[in-house]
Chain A
Amino acid sequence: GVTQSPTHLIKTRGQQVTLRCSSQSGHNTVSWYQQALGQGPQFIFQYYREEENGRGNFPPRFSGLQFPNDSSELNVNALELDDSALYLCASSQKLGAGGYTFGSGTRLTVV
C-alpha cells in the first residue's frame, strides 16, 4: 500500500517541514492533499514520472519531489498556523485514473 511518515508532527510557526510518502509499487502518479478538520481533502499538487503535473491553489512555499523509487516528499516552508492539517499522499497506477489509494496521512500541528 501507500505509507507515510511521520504519522504525527508538531512544528513551530516559521519552521520548515518535510513529509514523506512511499507509493504503492508500480504506481507512477502521486498526489498530495491537505485535509483540515471537518473538510474534504484539498488538492496540493500531483507528480507523474518525477515531474509536477498539476497544482492546486497553494502558495509556492508548498513544494514537492518524486523519486524514481516510488517515493515522494512534500516540503512546506515558513509554516503558518493554518497549515495545521492532515496531509494525505495518494498514488495511482495510471495518470488520470482517479481511483487513488491513500496513505494513512501525517497529522501536522503548527504552534
Chain B
Amino acid sequence: QKEVEQNSGPLSVPEGAIASLNCTYSDRVSQSFFWYRQYSGKSPELIMSIYSNGDKEDGRFTAQLNKASQYVSLLIRDSQPSDSATYLCAVNKDNYGQNFVFGPGTRLSVLP
C-alpha cells in the first residue's frame, strides 16, 4: 500500500461546477495535510493546509480532513479553466519535516 494515494485522473468538470479531489493516507500518526497545485512544467504551489478534523475554507477552496478514515479531500467551487492543473496531496508524518510525503497527484481539467 502506498503511503499517500490519489486518483490519477484526469478528472474533468465543466466550468462553474464543483471539483472534488480525494486523498487517502496509510500512516495513522500523520500530523498535517497539504494540497499543492502544479501547473504543467511548473513547481508545486501550496494552496491549502489542514491540521484538525473537519472543514477548512479559503475562498473557492475547501479542505476536508477525517483522521479516523485517513482521508483528506479538496473541493473547488465554481471551477474555472485556470484551475486546470495537477493537484498534489501531501502528508506530514511528524513534526520534523523529513517524513513529508506526496501523493502521485490528480490531474484536473475544467472545460469551458
Contacts and interface: CB of A to CB of B under 8 A. Distances in A.
B92 interface: yes
Interface in A56-95: 56, 86, 88, 92, 95
20 contacts: A29-B97, A31-B98, A31-B100, A38-B104, A39-B105, A40-B88, A40-B105, A41-B44, A48-B97, A53-B97, A53-B98, A86-B43, A88-B43, A92-B97, A95-B95, A100-B100, A101-B46, A102-B44, A102-B45, A103-B43
Interface residues of B, number: 24
B92 A96 contact: yes
B104 A39 contact: yes
Contact of A99 (B4, B46, B88): B46
Interface size grouping (class) on chain A:
20 to 34
A79 to B, nearest CB: 22
Contacts of B88: 40-41
Interface in B59-108: 88, 90, 92, 94-105
B32 A102 contact: no
Contacts of B90: 98
Contact of A98 (B92, B103, B104): B92
Contacts of B43: 86, 88, 102-105
Contacts of A99: 34, 46, 49
